[in-house]
Amino acid sequence: MIGAILREAWKSMGANKLRTFLTMLGMVIGVGAVILMLAIGQGAQYVVKQAIASMGSNLFIVLSSFSTTSGVRSGTGQAPTLTINDARALLELNTVAEVAPMQPGSRQIVYGAANWNTQVYGVTPGYFTVREWAVVDGDPISETDVRNATRVAILGQTVLDRLFGDEPAVGKTIRLENIPFTVAGVLDRKGQSFDGRDQDDTVLIPLTTAQRKVFGSQFPNSVRMIMVQAVSESAMAQAEEDINRLLRERRRTPEGQEPDFTVRNLSAVADVQAQTTKVMSLLLGAVACVSLVVGGIGIMNIMLVSVTERTREIGIRMAIGARRRDILAQFLLEAIIVSVLGCVIGVALGVGGALLASRLTSIYTEVTAWSVLLSFAVATLIGVFFGFYPARKAAWLKPIEALRYQ
Amino acid sequence: MATSPDGVVVGIEHLYKQYETAAGPVPVLKDVNLEIRRGEFVAIMGPSGSGKSTFMNILGCLDTPTRGRYVLDGHDTSALGSDDLARLRNRFIGFVFQGFNLLPRASLLENVALPLIYAGTPRRERSERARELLERVGLSRHVEHHPSQISGGQQQRVAIARALANRPSLLLADEPTGNLDTATSHEIMGLFTRLNAEAGITVVLVTHEHDVARFAQREVTFVDGIVTHDGPVRAVDEIAR
Ligand SMILES: Nc1ncnc2c1ncn2[C@@H]1O[C@H](COP(=O)(O)OP(=O)(O)O)[C@@H](O)[C@H]1O
Ligand SMILES: [Mg+2]
């Protein structure tokens, strides 16, 4: 019986192909939009999650700001105010697990005929721990390198690609500010940071080498920033307090006066970013759902027209013994078939669109199984919901009145 | 399938029907009493507007009377809901319309098999039975055709085949030859006569043509919703008297 009704429904849809197609189009666009939007949202969330994971955990960054005297910025404020000694002192805190004083700068790197402008960081061995960043080839920067200010460099994957291509790099000599450096190691791939930078576009050198030979600072012991890793997530609040107190003490900054450094909780910043992305993807999904509902209303519209047009057919069916539930089932099935078919095409288009978006733009997309399942469930529901009223209207016709309809 | 033991297929007592219109109720059938036995061939006659179609629709369970009793093959129809009426139409009645009323998008085979779908007959059996019926009305070579591809007379044959699908107790036809030329009309009437004579099917048929009515054994005449004659089929000159 269901088989027969299904065939009937299929046939009457086939009889009016253009109308069936137009009805389906609403669903196709709706479902396609849902799949694509969810894929974009999911992709964005994934990228942020990856970036956060690649950042390292329980991190603070201490930045030197301008030194101020009684609230007035003095000219000497351009001087970096954080030192290696600050970093050493911070490491003594109970709530701090590791520190990484850093001196960054943008420099041209040359290898043979190839050259590339990249971000150079002067770092200590602590950097690799704090960033949870492994050296996949060669060795990281050691305490000895820092002590002796050796000319060794660790390359990020992007720099490696640009300068060496497929050539092995470890042991080769590159030039930085015309100073030869030996490539000691290559960093693992990190990907994007959560603010969208390519983290692999970097070269690491010993901090002391950076200070004395590359950046040539007039303040030999100063650093631009110090990354601080707390011992645990629960110790974050205490650590932040400790860092602030210690650094103020070391500078003898009076109570109530703005210090010449800032402490930023990177995990908190990342959380905000993650939250924002989540809200954005929810919004995208919601907008797409509206188009699904519009598609559903389209189905109802066409079904109502179809019921009116086929009143006589309904009358004939009733005259030869169709019960209300048979007519109801027929029209309901038609609505469901249209919406589910529309959904199948919509899923295909949405997935295709997502792949295309990934391929052609920098947008990362991720189609999840649950978004496809959700679309199917919603499409069926919409079919039932918006198909029910027209189907009921058809089923409740009086046989004789339906037959008389011209 | 319950059948009345006394052989009465249609039992009608004090049947009234009025239509509710904007201008007020319009009485159409007034106190109709009628009994039709198994195997009868009844011609319903009367002038246009006398209530013949209204009466046939009630016989066919397509419409319900305002008052009165209609017992179809032992089933009192006045107490039945829409599903039960649908079942009666499906199992006990075959209705042939003036305008054929075939489904235009279905093949002849599918049209004939349609009542079997609603009876829950398995698919294989449906198509066997539909073929058999089409053969019986002389259309075995057209099973895959669509209604628009065959003539009016052939379409009416298909409609008759469809009406016979579930072996009904009662074959109803409201002016089945009204849209057909004289020669074709006679063919169709011949088919009804054969079904009645050879298969013993009870036939009730509306016509206003006397040369059509003479195929029947009994004539019931309506005038203004009242039965004015119930007896043997009369010749034209008899009525004037
Ligand atoms: N649905 C209806 N509503 C109102 N009046 C109707 C309706 N159907 C038929 N009538 C009226 O009932 C009377 C009988 O109609 P009908 O049974 O079709 O007559 P016949 O078939 O004998 O020509 C006519 O006067 C017609 O106008
Ligand atoms: Mg009539």
pLDDT tens for residues B153-191?
999 999 999 999 999 999 999 999 999 999 999 999 999
- State the pLDDT confidence band at B3, using cuts at 50, 70 and 90: low
> What is residue B238's predicted lDDT score, i.e. its pLDDT?
72
The stretch B95-112 carries a mean pLDDT of 94
Half-sphere exposure of A189 toward its Cβ, with a 13 Å CA cutoff?
6
Q: Is residue B175 part of a domain?
A: yes
- State the pLDDT confidence band at B4, using cuts at 50, 70 and 90: low
Q: Which residue has the higher pLDDT, A20 or B118?
A: B118
Provide Rg for chain B, Cα atoms: 18
- Name the domain count of chain B: 1
Q: Is the pLDDT of residue B237 over 80?
A: no
Q: Is the pLDDT of residue B239 over 80?
A: no
What residues of chain A lie within 8 A of the CB of B82, using their CB?
A: 323-324
In whole angstroms, give the CA distance from residue A100 to residue A393. 73
Which token pair is B174?
A: 């409201």
Q: Is residue B189 part of a domain?
A: yes
Q: Are A60 and A227 in contact (CB under 8 A)?
A: yes
Please list all protein residues whose beta carbon sits less than 5 angstroms from ligand 2, which is an ion.
Answer: B 53
SS3 B130: helix
> What is residue A108's predicted lDDT score, i.e. its pLDDT?
93
Give, in order, the Cα–Cα distances in Å from A10 to each of A308, A323, B102, B231.
Answer: 19, 20, 19, 50
A324 vs B82: CB contact, 8 Å cut-off?
yes
Residue A337 CB coordination number (10 Å):
18
Q: Are B230 and B34 in contact (CB under 8 A)?
A: yes
The enclosing domain of B159 has a CATH number of 3.40.50.300
Q: Is residue B32 part of a domain?
A: yes
What residues of chain A lie within 8 A of the CB of B167, using their CB?
A: none
**Mean pLDDT by groups of 10 residues along chain A of 406 residues:** 76 81 87 89 85 84 67 48 90 94 93 92 94 93 94 95 91 92 94 83 94 79 91 92 93 85 86 86 86 84 87 94 93 87 92 91 86 86 88 92 88
Residues in chain B: 241
> What is residue A120's predicted lDDT score, i.e. its pLDDT?
95
Ligand 1 site, residue B169, Cβ cutoff 6 A: no
Residue of A nearest to B64 (CA): A400
ipTM: 0.94
In whole angstroms, give the CA distance from residue A319 to residue A237. 79
**Mutation test of ligand 1: which of B54, B62, B174 has the most ligand atoms closer than 8 Å to its C-beta?**
B54
Which token pair is A302?
A: 């066409």
> What is residue B240's predicted lDDT score, i.e. its pLDDT?
56
Cα A251 to its chain centre, rounded Å, is: 40
Ligand 1 site, residue B77, Cβ cutoff 6 A: no
Q: Is the pLDDT of residue B218 over 90?
A: yes
> What is residue A218's predicted lDDT score, i.e. its pLDDT?
66
DSSP letter (8 states) at residue A221: T
Give, in order, the Cα–Cα distances in Å from A185 to each of A62, A162, A199, B110, B216.
Answer: 27, 16, 16, 79, 109
pTM above 0.80, yes or no: no
Domain carrying residue B97: 8-240
Per-residue pLDDT of A105-155, as tens digits, reads 999 999 988 999 999 999 999 999 999 999 999 999 999 999 999 999 999
Tell me how far the alpha carbon of residue B58 lies from the centroid of ligand 1, in angstroms: 13
